[in-house]
Structure 1
């Protein structure tokens, strides 16, 4: 399994684990495109084990189309990235979520 499939399968499992009959009605995961071009990711962490945890802002700029920015604010993980960096952005979330999850400390 390649990294993209692995991180996507992990994200699907993480999302599914949050769904409790209530969480998914108010919060969720959004992946959209940017016009510069690139991707935008928004993952709500309110009501999850990550609520109250902080992801320190990261700005990785390698070139015009190879970049990732990620941060948390208002109980949400945010990422914006270049057109080929979606897997990297999702991997940043996975790394933070598994590092900060109480069960895995």
Structure 2
């Protein structure tokens, strides 16, 4: 669960009185079933990063995919992948410091 604390810190770092009024983090369930994680990257060091959508589907119940386009990290995965998706974002942030 340390990755949740990391995400809290990342979010807080970008809250400057303006950013949080237009951008943020959205975590929701999807009907596949699974999770969707959307993180706005505008006005961050990653705002110009572009990653085409990539899907890794091991089985119908073991999958995830993500992309970074137009200043948005968008990832989805099966019901066991929430922490994995957040950790994936963390890895991208750390790679692009």
Structure (1/2) with the larger strand percentage: 2
Runs (4 or more) in structure 1 with deviation over 2 Å come to 54-58
Unpaired runs of at least 5, structure 1: none
Q: Which residue, 64, 69, 73 being the options, matches 2:69?
A: 73
State the TM-score, normalizing by the size of structure 2.
Answer: 0.94
How far apart in 1 are the matches of 2:91 and 2:52? 13
What is the TM-score when the length of structure 1 is the normalising length? 0.87
Match of 1:34 among 17, 22, 30: 30
Between Structure 1 and Structure 2, which shows a larger proportion of helix residues? 1
Aligned-CA RMSD value: 1.0
Q: Distance in 1 between matches of 2:51 and 2:4?
A: 20
Structure 2: gaps of 5 or more residues: none
